[in-house]
Amino acid sequence: MKKVICVCSSSGCNSSGSGRVLTSLQDEIMGRNISEHVEIRQVGCRGFCEQGPIVTIEPDKLFYTKVRETDVPDILDSLASSRPLERLMYINPVSGKKTATYDEIPFYACQNKMVLEKCGLINPENIDHYLADKGYNALEKVISDMTPQQVVDEVKESGLRGRGGAGFPTGIKWQGALNAKIIDKRYVVCNADEGDPGAFMDRSVLEGNPHSVLEGMAICGFATGSDEGYIYVRAEYPLAVKRLQKAITQAEDRNLLGENILNSGFNFHIKIKPGAGAFVCGEGTALMASIEGTRGTPRFKTHRSTEKGLWGKPTTLNNVETFANIPLIISNGAKWYSSIGTEKSTGTKIFSLTGNVVNTGLVEVPMGVSLRHIIFDIGGGVANNRKFKAVQAGGPSGGCIPEEHLDLPVDYDSLDQAGAMMGSGGLVVMDDSTCMVDLARYFLQFTQQESCGKCTPCREGTKRMLEILTRICEGQGQGRDIDDLERLSKVIRLTSLCGLGQSAPNPVLSTLQYFRNEYEAHINYKRCPAGVCTNLLIYSIDHKKCIGCGACARICPAGCISGEKKQVHVIDSDNCIKCGSCLQKCKFSAIIKK
C-alpha cells in the first residue's frame, strides 16, 4: 500500500521550518526514485501546534513531532524497514511514555473532530482531495433536491448557533434574509476578521480546508436568494488569503462556483476582501462599512443586516466556523447534528487553548463538555506543575472563570451565567503566578487601544477604567477605585454603540466577582499576592540561606546589595529597582520576593 507522508504546512508549522522539511522530503524521494510507493502531501493544521513541525504518515497514523530536514533520510529509512522512528515520537510529559500514533495521544483521543476532521489529511490547495471525501456533495444536494426554505428549515432544526460571538441561531438569521422584502440583490458575508490575541481557529480552517467554507457560503447563497458573497479576512493571514483565492479559482473551474453552478441556473460568486487589522471590524456593521470602502466603524442598528446590510441590501453574515458546519448538517441531517452537544448548544466548538497549559493548540469538542475536560484531559493540565487559578474564556471581551467552576459545561448559556462568554473560542489558562488585576489591565488596554472612538462611553469610559487599573497596579490605588470600576463598567456596557464597548468591561467585572481580594490587597495593603506588579514588590534576603557568595551584589544594576564575603548580604529596599536579576542569579534560593 502506498504511504502518504503528510507535512503540516500551516502558518504555525511553517514558522518553525516545515517548508524546509517538505522540500527535503520531495528531493529525497526523487533521489531515491520511490515516488511510486511514497506520496508527499502538504496539509493544514493538525492542532497540536507546539509540537511542530508535525509530520504524519498515513494510513499508519504515525505521528512525528518537531521534525527537521535532517530527519528526512531516517524517516524514509524507517518506512522501508516498517519500523517507526522512535526519536521523533511524541513523549507524554506526565508518564514519559513514547506514543507512535496520534490516536493514542490524549490531546487527540479526547477530541471529536468534525469541522477540523479533514485538516491535516487533505491538501488544501488541491480540490480533488476535498471532492474525493464527498466535498461539494451537500451543495449538489441542495441545488438538485431542496428548496431554499427546506435548506433554512434544516439549519434551524440542527440548532446551529453562530460560532463568532453571541451565538445567535443561524437558521433564524437565514430565515430573516430569505423573508427580506428587497429582492433585487442580496449578499452573503463571511467574517474571517479573527483578531482576539492568541486566537487562530478561523485561520486554521481557512488554511487547512478552505473549500468547506466556500461550500457553506454557496449553500447559504442558495437558501437566501443571494448570488454574491464576500470573505472579509485579515491581511495578516497571507497564507489563508492565498489558499482561499486558489480554492475559489479551482471551484469556478469545476463549475462549483460562478455562473450556472452544476447547470442548475443558480449563480454564486465569492470575492475576498482583505481587512486592515482593525479589531473593531470584527463587528458586523463596521465590517460591512470596510467592505464598502469607508472607514470601518460601527453604525447605529436601525435594521438587522438581513433586512438592510451591505450597500443597504439584505445580508447574511456568519463567521468561518459557522459556514464550515453547514455542509456537515446538509450531508448528515439536522437530527444527526442536533444529537451532538446539548439541547440549546448543538454540535462541536473549536477552541484555541493557550496560556499556562501543558498542551497548547486547537481543540474541537462537543458542546457541553466541562472546562476541566478541556484543560486537564486534552490540555494535560497546568504547565510546570503549578496550581490552576483561572481560565479566561471568550477573548479580550470575555471573563475569567476560577477553579470552583472548572466543572462548568462549555455552552453559550453556562458561560454567560458565569460572567464569561463563548466568543470566537479563545481559552487562556492561568496559573497561580498570574495577577488578576494586571490581567484585567492587560485586556482592557487591548480593547481601549482597539476602540474606534466613535462613541463616548467606549472611548472615554475604557480610558478612565484603564487609568484606574494602572494606578492600582502601580501601588497608588484608592479606596473608591473598586466602586468606580463597577460603576463605569455598568455604564459602558449599557450605553456603548457596539459589542466591543459593551463587552470591554467583562474581564474587570469577572475578576472583581471572583478575585476581589486581590484588588483589595493591591489597594489596602499595597501588595500584589501573585508577585507580578513591580511597584508593589519587596526583595529581601533570607539570612538562613545566604552564604555570602556575592553573586547577587555583582549582578545588581542599582548597586543596592551589600555585605562582606561569606557574610549575610542585605538589600537596600529604597534604592532597589525590582528588576529581579538577583532572584535569577542566586543559586541558593536566598532571595525572597513578596
Q: Which fold has domain 537-593?
A: Alpha-Beta Plaits (3.30.70)
With left for phi above 0 and alpha for psi between -120 and 50, is residue 260 left, alpha or beta? left
Read off the pLDDT of residues 221-276 as tens digits, 9 standing for 90 and up.
999 999 999 999 988 899 999 999 999 999 999 999 999 999 999 999 999 999 98
Q: Can you point out the beta strands (E) in 486-538?
A: none
Q: Which fold has domain 348-431?
A: Ubiquitin-like (UB roll) (3.10.20)
* 500's grid cell: 466591543
Read off the pLDDT of residues 533-554 as tens digits, 9 standing for 90 and up.
988 988 999 998 999 999 999 9
Q: What is the DSSP letter of 43?
A: E
Region 436-524: CATH code: 1.20.1440.230
State the pLDDT at residue 420: 87
Q: Omega of the bond prior to 53 within 30 degrees of 0, cis?
A: yes
State the pLDDT at residue 422: 87
* 191's grid cell: 467574517
**Arithmetic mean of pLDDT, 8-17:** 94
* 241's grid cell: 488569503
State the pLDDT at residue 94: 77
For residue 50, give the 3-state DSSP assignment. Answer: helix
pLDDT band at 110 (very low <50, low <70, confident <90, very high): very high
CATH H superfamily, domain 127-338: NADH-ubiquinone oxidoreductase 51kDa subunit (3.40.50.11540)
Spatial distance between the Cα atoms of 260 and 223, rounded to a whole number of angstroms: 16
* 326's grid cell: 453547514
User: What are the distances in angstroms from CA 343 to CA 160, 459, 478?
Assistant: 11, 39, 46
Question: CA-based angle 354:488:522, to the nearest 5?
Answer: 60
DSSP character string of 412-462 = HHHHHHTT---TT-EEEEEETT--HHHHHHHHHHHHHHH--S-SHIIIIIH
In one letter, which amino acid is 200?
A: F
With left for phi above 0 and alpha for psi between -120 and 50, is residue 358 left, alpha or beta? alpha
The rounded percent of the chain whose pLDDT value lies above 90 is 84
pLDDT band at 112 (very low <50, low <70, confident <90, very high): very high
Read off the pLDDT of residues 182-223 as tens digits, 9 standing for 90 and up.
889 999 999 999 888 778 899 999 999 999 999 999 999 999
* 254's grid cell: 469545476
Spatial distance between the Cα atoms of 128 and 4, rounded to a whole number of angstroms: 16
The residues that bridge with 367 in the sheet, in sequence order, are none
pTM here? 0.93
* In the predicted structure, residue 298 carries a pLDDT above the cut 80: yes
CATH H superfamily, domain 3-109: Glutaredoxin (3.40.30.10)
Question: CA-based angle 37:46:81, to the nearest 5?
Answer: 30
Q: Domains of the chain: which residue ranges?
A: 3-109, 127-338, 348-431, 436-524, 537-593
Q: Which residues contact 339 (CB under 8 A, 6 or more apart)?
A: none
State the pLDDT at residue 278: 86
Which strands make up the sheet holding 38-43, listed edge to edge? 38-43, 3-8, 55-58, 62-64
User: What are the distances in angstroms from CA 559 to CA 75, 541, 575?
Assistant: 54, 15, 8
CA-based end-to-end distance of the chain: 62
Read off the pLDDT of residues 127-143 as tens digits, 9 standing for 90 and up.
999 999 999 999 999 99
In one letter, which amino acid is 451?
A: S
